[in-house]
Structure 1
Amino acid sequence: MMFRQTDVATGAAQISARLGEWREEIARRGGLAFQRRPDGARGPRLNWLLGELRTPVEHWQATRKARVHAPVAPPAAPDTVSRAVMLLPGFGTHPVRMKPLARALEAAGHRVCDWGLGFNFGPTEERFDRLCERVLAMARKQGEPLVLVGWSLGGIFAREVARRHPEAVRMVITMGTPFSGDRRANNAWRAYQLIAGHSVDEPPIGQDMAVKPPVPTVALWSARDGIVSPRSACGRKGERDLAIAMRCTHLGFAAHPDVADMVRRLVAAD
């Protein structure tokens, strides 16, 4: 009986200690989420943020317009080259959100895979190492460097992989990725700090996000982006090789037909 009482008391103490650790962690993350935005760092205006709600409607309109104005002709032939492409999802999203982009690239004859890490809840050194291992393995399997297409935070991962392993990366295409300027010039940094558990100023990877990787780097950005500052996603000369403006929301980068067509052309032209 004494043994059982001691065992119960020990278990209760362990549970109490664990609950205390959880409370401390929640409080720490809450403090990160409610930090004051520095002066001069501004994300997109509220009306652009609310405009993100129109993303499904815009996709439907763009797809319908393309069908109405498409000439009556046989289906377009696949691109003359076939590239190995890896898609990296945005913060808080799963690779399934990029399926429309994957289908468009596959229809053009490219070989597409996702990053293999499930939901993107922010970087850790372990997750980044696993991503690097996957990129190296896929490059060996495909017999050629990969084209990395990163949406939002996925683009930060892509740029960092290319910086560490340029021999395994043919090109990096970022879509609405905040790699330039102030790291709080967006409307997602508080959610990022809450979920990822670290400050945007001290990430496990991407300490020098604006430094261009030693491979061709293209930044797709949109003046209608309601989450990431267009200037941060566009970047400055020397931070990327080419910047191309799109007309879509931030959420739209993952599936908008115009974006998919642009990515397809960039991959084929490389």
Structure 2
Amino acid sequence: MSSRRMKVSLVDLHSAEGGRAVDELFAFHVLSPFMRGGSHEGDGHAALVIPGLLAGDRSTEDLRDLLQARGYNAFGWEQGRNYGPRPGVEDRLLAQLNRLHAAYGPVSLIGWSLGGLYARELAKRAPDCVRQVITLGSPIGRADEAAPHASRVFKFLNGTMDPARLLELQHPPPVPLTAVFSKSDGVCGWEACLQEQTRHAESVEIHGSHLGLGHNLAVVHVICDRLAQPVGDWRPFEPGALWRWAFPFREEAMSPACDAPRGT
């Protein structure tokens, strides 16, 4: 792909999303002070937040600040912008996970878009170090088909991914999983962001843009609720009474279909 075509792809990627993401960011800054504390006080465990394609830790700073205020130890991935697979990235993430686990116990992993794929792969490599994985608009299905604009940018930066590797990415890690998705996501097709429902895995629908997922108030509510669960007592997400308006109608959960994974 030429540099000019990549720039066009980036313009396309942001044009339909930018306005909604700005609105979500504005709402976050107005209302998030009321979420700093609340009914759940954090237990101090660590949360590692991994940004999406072309984004860095600045994109997750507001979320991490709020989680800190809620009583968790929230960390960025500390590797600059996320350009996709690079030599040493996964090994450095694994080393960071091991350090956090040694200091705080099992770590919650939160990944935005491409960051969610990193989070899932990290949980596969070290499931005993991971408390749970929360993905935000992450194309855990066929990423190359689900996000055509982002996929073109990814391929420009990294080349075409091996089909066998794409299939590997679809296999879930053996830890509790929550996949947040939006049917109005303007970047990733929502069907590819779904996690198959099991006793310890779920998909949660929200209203919102892809570029605003990291500061969407409904998403923040989901994250805070998931982080507040006691170890060993994972349960499917249910919005609080004051939050039901923020979530689309939820169908009944599927019957349990798997044994309890590690990390619960």
TM-score, normalised with respect to structure 2: 0.74
The answer to whether residue 90 in structure 2 is matched with residue 128 in structure 1 is yes
Is 1:230 the counterpart of 2:230 in the alignment? no
- The reply on whether 1:171 has 2:132 as its aligned counterpart is yes
Structure with max Cα Rg: 1
SS in 2 for 1:53: helix
Alpha carbons 2:54, 2:83 under 8 Å: kept? yes
Deviation of 1:262 (Å): 1.5
Whole-angstrom distance in 1 between the partners of 2:172 and 2:24: 32
Indicate yes or no: 2:16 matched with 1:50.
yes
Take 2:159 and 2:227, find their aligned partners in 1: how far apart are those partners?
34
Structure 2 match to 1:76: 38
Residue 115 of structure 2 corresponds to residue 154 of structure 1: yes
Instruction: Count how many residue pairs are aligned between Structure 1 and Structure 2.
Output: 222
User: Counterparts of 1:47 and 1:95 in 2: how far apart (Å)?
Assistant: 20
2:78 alignment partner in structure 1: 116
Give the structure 1 partner of residue 240 of structure 2. none
Which letter does structure 2 place at the counterpart of 1:256? N
Change (3 A) 1:202 1:181: closer
Unaligned runs of 5+ in 1: 1-28, 35-45
**In the TM superposition, what is the alpha-carbon distance from 1:185 to its structure 2 partner?**
1.5
One-letter amino acid of the structure 1 residue matched with residue 153 of structure 2: A
Judge conservation of contact 1:99–1:255 (CA < 8 Å) in 2. Answer: no
Q: Is the 8 A contact 1:220 1:245 kept in 2?
A: yes
Question: Equivalent residues in 2 for 1:98-113 (5 A)?
Answer: 98-113=60-75
**What residue identity is the alignment partner of 2:45?**
R
- Whose relative contact order is higher, 1 or 2, with alpha carbons under 8 Å and at least 6 apart? 1
- Return the letter of the residue paired with 1:180: G
Q: Does 1:198 align with 2:159?
A: yes
Unmatched tracts of structure 2, length 5 or more: 7-11, 231-264
TM-score by length of 1: 0.73
How far does the alpha carbon of each residue in 1:78-109 deviate from its partner, in whole angstroms, 9 at most, with x for none?
Answer: 51523211100001001111111112211110
Q: SS of 2:168's equivalent? A: coil
Residues 151-182 of structure 1 deviation map (CA, whole Å, 9 limit, x = unaligned): 00000000001001111111000000001145
Deviations 1:194-213 (A, max 9, x none): 12x2213459x765111110
2-structure distance, mates of 1:266, 1:78: 11
Say if 1:83 and 1:268, in contact at 8 Å, map to a contact too: no
Aligned twin of 1:258 = 218
1:253 & 1:174 partners in 2: Cα distance? 10
| Root mean square deviation, CA, Å | 3.0
Higher mean alpha-carbon deviation, 78-87 vs 166-175, is at 78-87
Q: Percent identity?
A: 25
Deviations 1:35-88 (A, max 9, x none): xxxxxxxxxxx8996144331123324654x48xx7xxx963651523211100
Change (3 A) 1:49 1:214: farther
- Secondary structure of 1:219's aligned partner: strand
Matched, 1:188 2:150: yes
